[in-house]
Amino acid sequence: MSDIGPRTALDRYGYVAARIMLAAIFLLTGYDKLVDHKDAAGDIAEIGLPFPALLAIAAGLVELVCGALLALGRQTKWAAAGLLMFLLPVTVLMENPLGADADFGTLIDFLKNLAIAGGLLMVLLAENAARAGPREFEAE
């Protein structure tokens, strides 16, 4: 038995469940962008970005592939990093609470995206902690 005590079900399955819950939104929205890329392209064109159809398909692929990798526990650090690099500019461009047409709903969407970004950052930090081992992160 280890010196930190027996593992609980939460220890064993909590991180897996959290990853799947975090990935679910990207799987759904990525699939939606690929199936109905004209709607996503319209949203992208509305903010003035070039090549909206290409960007909609690329966004759908990033969300679907990285979301699947995150849910399956494969290359989770890279998947979380890819989703984070995708989500932050999308949040600033599409959910800007300081924009002229911003309302309370826009602010809520902005904050939800920040919360999701925080979850992705936690995945990155957890992966680093797992690689470093428990001793490196103990208080001195």
Q: What is the pTM of this model?
A: 0.81
Q: Which residues of 69-88 are buried (b: 16+ CB within 10 A; e: fewer)?
A: bbbeeeebbebbbbbbebbe
Name which residue leads in pLDDT, 42 or 11: 42
Cα–Cα distance, 51 to 42 (Å, whole number)? 11
If residue 10 lies in a helix (H) or strand (E), which one and from where to where?
helix 9-35
pLDDT of 128 higher than 80: no
Cβ neighbours of residue 102 under 8 Å, at least 6 residues apart? 96
pLDDT at residue 116 in the model: 96
Lowest mean pLDDT among 85-94, 101-110, 129-138: 129-138
pLDDT of 35 higher than 80: yes
pLDDT band at 99 (very low <50, low <70, confident <90, very high): confident
pLDDT at residue 72 in the model: 94
CB atoms within 10 A of CB 116: 17
